[in-house]
Amino acid sequence: MSMTSGRIQADVPFIRDRFTWQAYLLLASFTYLQAILGPLMPFLRDEFNLSYTVGGLHLSAFALGMVIAGVGGAVLVQALGREVVLRGGAVGMAAAACLLAFGSHVLATLGASLVMGLAGALMLVTVQSTLADRHGRWRALAFTEANIAGGLSAGLAPLLLGVFQRVGIGWRSAVYSAVMGLAVLLIVRARTRVLHADPPRQARAAARERLPLAFWVSWTIILLGVAIEFCLIGWGADFLHTAAGLEKSTASSVMAAFFVAIVLGRLAGGRLTRVMEASSLLVVAVGIIMCGFPIFWLAPSPLIKVVGLFVTGLGAGNVFPLTLAIALSVAPDTDAASARVTMGAGLAILIAPLTLGWIADAIGMANAYGATLVLIAAALAMVLVARWLARRAHSANKSVRAA
């Protein structure tokens, strides 16, 4: 769905075929294993006697793997084809998850986190590009629904981990569950005829073209959006504890409001993509964040802060899927674009929470969260730039047709 497209044609149906459902479940597996790294960290820290810094390096290693996949993913897809990279990425992520659970030394678990991010991101690159090519004008809806599945699975990860630990079968069973799920998906995929796996040859040749300015503007919005989301995910509970005076356990539980809001926001966004362009919805999404975050940051009452957190989540949940749809719609090659988007998301996860923590060490978490407001303002500015570029391109196209 291009930013320059006209009114969405309601008579063109959105069809969730077999590959679409498989893609949703593969993305859900990726987000589940990404999300489980935080909740399992207390158990790893106890077993290996790790510091908070070393424990936090596991998520950094995962993000670094995403960056590496983003740099080289498109070249690998061009050499091997989407289906090979998709299946190889899924197998690699499952194997690395087993190593994470079985690892008897911190170097093994750090290496496993790196490979999980690398292999999982390669799988993600092919899932995103294939969904974009398969659904065309409805790619925003497909990405929104896929990220609804991702949001639900991210919320399921800590829940299952806690349940399995309490019933006595151990936190590792939560990791094994994802591995078994990936195994089932791969078996089903092996029995399925490859559906729309690779683009036509002329599209492969387009991969040698430089990605346009409009793509890089969208890429910047994705980087900022993911940075905002992970600043809240990584430090939201600590902020509620230090700035709002909530008990640590209460603050951690209250963060569920953010994840619930993300899922609800994506459900609403999915419906709205049927009648509105992604570019218009993106302005609304960032505007909602701009309204909600100052309440979360500055409100004197803990209850009002939670309301602000919820409102922020309603907007934050839609920034990535909507901008991803826009970015892939303006790129000459969806594999290259999907890889660069994955790299941008990995960079945001790698840098933003660490930078916010570093600022908080210097001036306190309550003051440091002001940096997130700067990210939100920058995201809004880039959204407006993207709309201006789209209108200019649309006017140029009209002039060419008139001539």
pLDDT band for position 112 (50/70/90)? very high
> Tens digits of per-residue pLDDT, 25-71?
999 999 899 888 877 877 888 888 877 677 778 888 999 999 999 99
Tell me the Ramachandran region of residue 170: left when phi exceeds 0, alpha when psi lies from -120 to 50, beta otherwise.
Answer: left
Segment holding 81, helix H or strand E: none
Question: Quick one: pLDDT at residue 197?
Answer: 52
The amino acid at residue 259 is F
State pLDDT tens for residues 217-275: 999 999 999 999 888 887 888 888 888 888 877 777 788 888 889 989 988 988 888 88
**Per-residue pLDDT at 41:** 77
The stretch 188-201 carries a mean pLDDT of 60
Query: What long-range pairs does 74-79 form, CB within 8 A, spacing at least 24?
Result: 74/125, 74/207, 74/333, 74/335, 74/336, 74/338, 74/339, 74/340, 76/122, 77/125, 77/126, 77/129, 77/335, 77/339, 78/204, 78/207, 78/335
- Given a cut of 90, is residue 208 above it in pLDDT? no
Sign, CA dihedral 49-53-57-59, equals positive
pLDDT tens, position by position, 234-249: 788 888 888 888 887 7
- C-alpha 267/C-alpha 144 separation (Å) is 8
Angle made by CA atoms 366, 285, 246, in degrees to the nearest 5: 30
Which residue segments constitute the domains of the chain, with CATH numbers given? Answer: 16-198 (1.20.1250.20), 209-398 (1.20.1250.20)
Mean pLDDT of 349-368: 86
pLDDT tens digits for range 148-164: 888 888 888 878 888 88
